[in-house]
A and B are shown apart, each in its own frame.
Chain A
Amino acid sequence: MWALSDFPASAARYPHSAVPRSQPQPLPQRVDGLVEQQRFDRVRCSQDGAGAESLAPGGAMANCRQVLTSLQPRRSAAKNKIRINQDLGSDNMSVAAELANEPGVIAAGEYSYRGDRFTCKGEISDEMARMAAIMCRATTMSEHMQVDMLEEHCPGCGVSPPQGWVVHGPTFSVCNVANVFCFVDNDNASLNHIIALMRKRLAGASHDLV
């Protein structure tokens, strides 16, 4: 996972998305080996799992563990990180990684609600992954605000809490459930299947951090 502050330009453009300042903490440094691995897997993760508490259970950290595990023979420094991530993550493949392996899914990723971390896997550049995470988070936060307002008009009508949203384009669609998103090729993927899969895997996702 990368921090948005890894992109100096974006940190200036999106100051609200930077690392919280109430209790300044040292930013995690990327494991050097990940940079090389990332070119192939296009997976971003933090070195020490900082910020994992803000991601969905079994999500990004399980993804990170996969990358770090693959680096184990080459990067002794990553060994400790593997242990940490094994403690935090589940044995299952992360939701985003699972989605990325689905037919017709171009890319899948996850972002933290507070906006300082994201991870993405698929055929998408790092910069576009960063932009995708920012846009998806913005839409999700807006949806929560809107649903809170709608709930006032029809208490208990079954809208709250919102689970996600879909933007349907002519060729591609963007699906978001909780804090996980994926880009889907309309002709080669089943939107029904993707949404059902995301809803099932993320049924227990917490909204407390929204």
Chain B
Amino acid sequence: MTDLNQLMTLRGAQAAFTMNDRGELQDHLLSDGTPLNETALDLLAHMCVANTAIATMQARGWEANSDNKGFYPINGFTMIGMDWSAITAANVGVVVSNKQADYETAYKMLAELEAAG
């Protein structure tokens, strides 16, 4: 079981969520005052799964057509919105305020959660 509370400790965290391989929202936490809601998170999760799949395909094709390795497999996808960013890896994601976003720490935490199962 992914510990979403740990993700919510990230600076500026507005939401944390898990999704299945189709992008359907499985579990989520919302911070007080966030404009996000469950419906938005569900669509956001679908977006992240779709973009990760496309990026994975592109990375595969890129490496097949060149000597540039190190893009595949895709470990995470981040969508940078106007005020917040959605950072995802595998089936876990977190939404953080752009002003306080620490992308590197978020990716590390997501990787740890993924490894922990």
* Residue among A128, A159, A199 having the largest count of chain B Cβ atoms under 10 Å: A159
**Chain A interface, DSSP helix/strand/loop, else mixed:** mixed
Q: Does B69 reach chain A (CB closer than 8 Å)?
A: yes
Least CB distance, B44 to chain A, in whole angstroms: 6
* Residue among B50, B54, B70 having the largest count of chain A Cβ atoms under 10 Å: B70
The answer to whether A139 touches B71 (Cβ under 8 A) is: no
The number of residues on chain B lying at the interface, defined by a beta carbon within 8 Å of a beta carbon of chain A, is 41
The answer to whether A195 touches B75 (Cβ under 8 A) is: no
The CA of A73 and the CA of B107, in the complex, are separated in Å by 49
Contact A139 to B55, CB < 8 A, known contacts A154-B40, A168-B76, A169-B70: yes
| 11 further contact pairs, Cβ within 8 A, besides A154-B37, A165-B78, A168-B74 | A125-B66, A157-B35, A158-B35, A158-B84, A162-B80, A166-B78, A167-B59, A169-B74, A170-B70, A192-B101, A199-B80
> Which residues in B have some Cβ–Cβ distance to A below 8 Å?
35-37, 39-40, 43-44, 47, 50-51, 54-55, 58-59, 62, 65-66, 68-84, 89, 98, 101-104, 107
6 closest Cβ contacts across the A-B interface?
A171-B70, A158-B83, A159-B81, A168-B76, A157-B35, A166-B78
